[in-house]
Amino acid sequence: MRSKQEIRAGVWAAMEQAGAAHTRKLHDKIPHFRGCEAAAGRVGELDAWQAARVIKGNPDKAQRPLRQLALEQGKTLYMAVPRLRQEQCFVELDPAVMGASPAEASTIAGAFRWGRPVYVEEMRPVDLVISGSVAVNRRGTRVGKGGGFADLEYGLAIAAGIVAPDTPVISTVHPMQVLDEELPFTRHDVFLDYVVTADEVIPCRGDMPRPSGIYWEDLTPAKIRQIPLLKKLRANDG
């Protein structure tokens, strides 16, 4: 089995060579893949999406069409602060009060301008989670860009009771990101319920365990110091 870093490097190189993304350089990024708008449209047809009133999303450009769609449909959106660099590590966007168009508010800059920074414990219960990916397989195993922030967001939300173990998790990707191989995973990785491309919806098995919270023993002291909320929580535990 290839390592996560080998998988990332292979996907980034292949997509760069094929011109499959809107940016030429993909290293260390969630690819802003061509067709992300069409993939978002397919997500919008899912029953899980249509039933959701509160959505947690990642800040990457590839999933901006999904953030915009959520706001257009009157859903409350929580966007993670990039790299969790604030204690109030989510931005709440409520279409009823945000004062901007969904197109503007769905950008990172727009979310910070028109949204409300919130602590995890202030969030409403989430009905659906959007996650960005570098690589996935049809089982629902996901490989991110390597920072571990998506897993930490999920762990924080689970620990706070904002996300439940059965809350659907969806990722939109380019077909080149869907790999026909086993992908490595650890206990803090979040398995997907749906992988969606511009061409298809892939329901995943949904029988793999998800994180039950933050696994402190897996975090280095440097990582804890890097993220203000983790630093605060660790100090309170001490």
Residue extents of the structural domains in the chain: 4-237
How much is the pLDDT for 171? 98
3-state secondary structure of 35: coil
Contacts with 159 (C-beta within 8 Å, 6 or more apart), sequence order:
213, 214
**Would the pLDDT of 168 be above 80?**
yes
Q: How many CB atoms lie within 10 A of CB 220?
A: 8
Q: Mean pLDDT throughout 83-100?
A: 91
- From the centroid of its chain, how far is CA 162? 15
Q: Mean pLDDT throughout 219-237?
A: 83
3-state secondary structure of 222: helix
Contacts with 22 (C-beta within 8 Å, 6 or more apart), sequence order:
32, 33, 34, 61
**Would the pLDDT of 238 be above 70?**
no
Q: Mean pLDDT throughout 197-226?
A: 88
Between 238 and 45, the higher pLDDT residue: 45
User: How, if at all, do strands 54-57 and 142-143 pair?
Assistant: unpaired
Residue among 103, 133, 121, 135 nearest 10 (CA): 135
**Would the pLDDT of 234 be above 70?**
yes
Return mean pLDDT, the chain: 93
Q: Mean pLDDT throughout 173-188?
A: 95
Helix 36-43 / helix 64-72 crossing angle, nearest 10 deg: 40
Q: Model pTM greater than 0.85?
A: yes
- 114 exposure class (CB count in 10 Å sphere: 0-12, 13-18, 19+): buried
Q: Choose which CATH entry (3.10.580.10, 3.90.1150.10, 3.40.50.620, 3.40.50.10420) describes domain 4-237.
A: 3.40.50.10420
Q: How many CA atoms lie within 13 A of 85 on its CB side?
A: 4
